[in-house]
Amino acid sequence: MQETKKEIMLYIPMGVKLEQEFFTGFGKKELIRSIITMGISFIISFLIYLFNTSQSILIVSLLSSIFGSIMICVKDTQNQSVLDYIINIINFYKEQQIYNYVSNYF
């Protein structure tokens, strides 16, 4: 006897986002992260400016910190950003890496 199974097809639309995005991979959460990253970068840029007093270096470092912070926070097709990858690597190395196994067979 052969039983025929009825297949149920489920269609999941591609590219459905839960939150509104300003552009692909950059939403409200990424905006907050990039603002925090820009703030840290601005402080570092002004510290460099205090020691070098060159306005061209200040302008270049401020602009590169703006573009760099946005590029670090934009998510790719795997829904991960560079900042997420860095956080995952740090969390991985914080975890226990050596497991000592003790057996009591005898």
Number of domains the chain is built from: 1
62 CB neighbour count, 10 Å cutoff = 15
In a domain, 5, yes or no: no
Q: Within a domain: residue 6? A: no
Band of the pLDDT at 70, cuts 50, 70, 90?
confident
The arithmetic mean of pLDDT across residues 94-100, rounded, is: 80
Query: Does residue 89 form part of some domain?
Result: yes
For the chain, percent helix, then strand, then coil, each to nearest 5? Answer: 55, 5, 40
The domain containing residue 41 runs over which residues? 25-94
Give pLDDT, residue 52: 85
Residue 63 domain-assigned (yes or no): yes
User: Is 7 within the bounds of a domain?
Assistant: no
**Is 103 part of a structural domain of the chain?**
no
pLDDT digits (tens, 9 = 90+) for 13-65: 766 667 788 887 888 888 898 899 889 988 988 888 898 888 888 888 889 98
Mean pLDDT of 63-69: 89
Q: Is residue 79, in this structure, part of any structural domain at all?
A: yes
* DSSP β-bridge partners for residue 23: 26
- DSSP class per residue in 80-99: --HHHHHHHHHHHHHS----
